[in-house]
Chains A and B, each alone.
Chain A
Amino acid sequence: MKPTWRSLTGSRLLDVLTLFVVFAFLFPYLFMVSSAFKSRLETFAYPPVFLNFTPTLEHFDNIFSDMNILFYMKNSTIIAVCSTLLTILIAIPATYSLARYRFRYKEGVAYGFLFLQMVPGISIVFALFFIARSLDLFDTHIFLIVVYLLWNIPYAIWMMRGFVEGIPVELEESAMVDGASRFKAFRLITLPLMAGGVAATAILIFIGVWNEFSVAFFLTSTNARTMPTTIAFFMTHSGIKWGPMFATATIGTLPVVVFALLVRRYFISALTFGAVKG
């Protein structure tokens, strides 16, 4: 069928509309990043300043030298990396168990994990606050690392189960026929094949912990405070310090955006607990 003039202009119009829509979603982010380089007056200007400003690095200078943002980045990194590694370490055998064995109440156990994953952080954070106080673990890295396992492990199990089930069990079986133990078959055959999925899961868990606010905000004060909870520092009596806030937001979201783009292929399964393949 030859494209008619009408269908051509129609699809051109839709192309333009698509571009516009996508740009509309990107715009608030672009404006946020650009605002990190604006002076205080330009941030508050009305009508807003879009492109005609002289970029300044004063806010970045400010957050690194006065606010010591590196300290909070270090805390975030320690907590996110440790919690992610622990999660993967604990979740891989559990995933294997759910994906490769048949046993009673298997689906019950899997859904049990899923339901615990649904518990809102804010609903148990004050109970956790009392627990942390009684264990003398308030405002410590280790407490956050462990608490996050409650959400991370079920998430990892649901994510990775799909990856393991996608690998033909016959590969392991043939290795075992050749005399490998079950563990060796897993280590040499299945584990390398699921490595991509594990890495993607790890990155997504890292992003989740890195961004987490409700739990971190109420369970830390000075020692283990993370990046997302530094927003409290920008809300001062004399108003909100927008410049440093935008600079922090830009730096804090940068690794996550880069990571997310790296694992884009897995993003759909990540968003849906592995229920939908991208």
Chain B
Amino acid sequence: MTEDRNAWGRRPGWLAPAVLILPAFVVVFAIAGYSALSLFQLSTVDLTFGEPFSNAEAVGLENYQWLLTNQHSTFWATLRVTVIYLLGTLIPELLLGFAIALLLNRKMRGNSLFTAVLVIPIVLMPSMVGLIGRLYFSYDGLVNYFFEILTGIRHNWYGKDLALLAVILVDIWEWSPFFILILLAGLQTLPIEPFEAARVDGASRWQSFTLITLPLMLPLLLTTLILRFMDVLRLFDVIFVMFAGGPGTATTTLPLYVYRSTLVLRDVGRGSAASIMLIIIIVSLTVILIKVRERIKFEV
């Protein structure tokens, strides 16, 4: 039997890598598996939060059916809010982030200080950010102060028309720097040659931006968008602290819906069913996005 040798000149055994990875594998998959099993079990029962589990009554998949089809279910309205929240945060953050990254990508004194400053919003405690947002968006708050200077009008951000916009604006403040920092790092590693060639050929700045910068940056733009997408879809703390999903259901995104079903309406079964749907949505959409990104990577 010929021995299949690897770079180490040894037989590529499976034992060593398996043993090394085993602790991590066991810990992570045990926690996840245990939680997933009990989550699924909870999603198939009728149980009021606060009662002992022995009171649970098995109802099969009724909770899922109720969420998706019952006329009193606000699941679809929740999805609508979630989509608005996703688009309302991701698109401005991407555009603003890219624009500011381009702005910072010039020779200028103090650039390293600027990038240091931009780290701050990202690492602040989200729960505190939510509470601060609540004060800043109050009627006598900071945001209305600047609004009044610029437009002469103050708004009621706590109302159901503007509450979602308020949490979106907080997220834009907190997370545009995420796009700025990553895209700036990307811009700084772009090769110089294509830009010089374009200048020799008489291309305008706009042309070299759309024809060179943009295509070269596309994979990174998508990567950043995917990472942020996962995070926005599971964001709970800031919205919870600012408005707890209210007023009404104005800021009830999917994670908030899970919380409200379980703790406010005290319906453990439906809350757990919603949790499982949230997990399925996040994982499947992310897998699709990763596939799309891989395809684009090969075309450029």
Contact = CB atoms under 8 A, between A and B. Distances in A.
SS of B interface (majority): helix
B195 interface: no
B39 A127 contact: yes
B170 to A, nearest CB: 9
B116 A120 contact: no
Contacts of A15: 108
B24 A153 contact: yes
B128 A252 contact: yes
Contacts of A116: 28-29, 32
B9 to A, nearest CB: 9
A149 B241 contact: no
B224 A272 contact: yes
B271 A126 contact: yes
Contact of B117 (A26, A44, A213): A26
A149 B236 contact: no
B140 A46 contact: yes
Interface string B206-243: 00000000000000100110010010011011001100
A202 interface: no
Contact of A273 (B6, B227, B262): B227
Interface residues of B, number: 90
Contacts of B21: 93-94, 97-98, 109
Interface stretch (B70-78, B83-91, B173-181): B173-181
18 contacts: A14-B103, A18-B106, A26-B120, A28-B121, A29-B121, A48-B145, A116-B29, A120-B278, A126-B49, A126-B263, A127-B42, A127-B275, A130-B38, A130-B42, A217-B127, A240-B135, A249-B125, A249-B128
Interface of A: 11, 14-15, 17-18, 21-22, 25-26, 28-29, 31-32, 43-44, 46-48, 90-91, 93-94, 96-98, 101-104, 106, 109, 112-113, 115-116, 118-124, 126-128, 130-131, 134, 146-147, 149-150, 153-154, 157, 169, 173, 176, 182, 207, 210-211, 213-214, 217, 227-229, 231, 234, 240, 242, 245-246, 248-249, 252-253, 256-257, 259-261, 264, 267-268, 271-273, 275-278
Given A98-B17, A234-B131, 9 more contacts: A90-B27, A96-B20, A97-B16, A124-B39, A126-B49, A176-B8, A228-B126, A253-B123, A253-B124
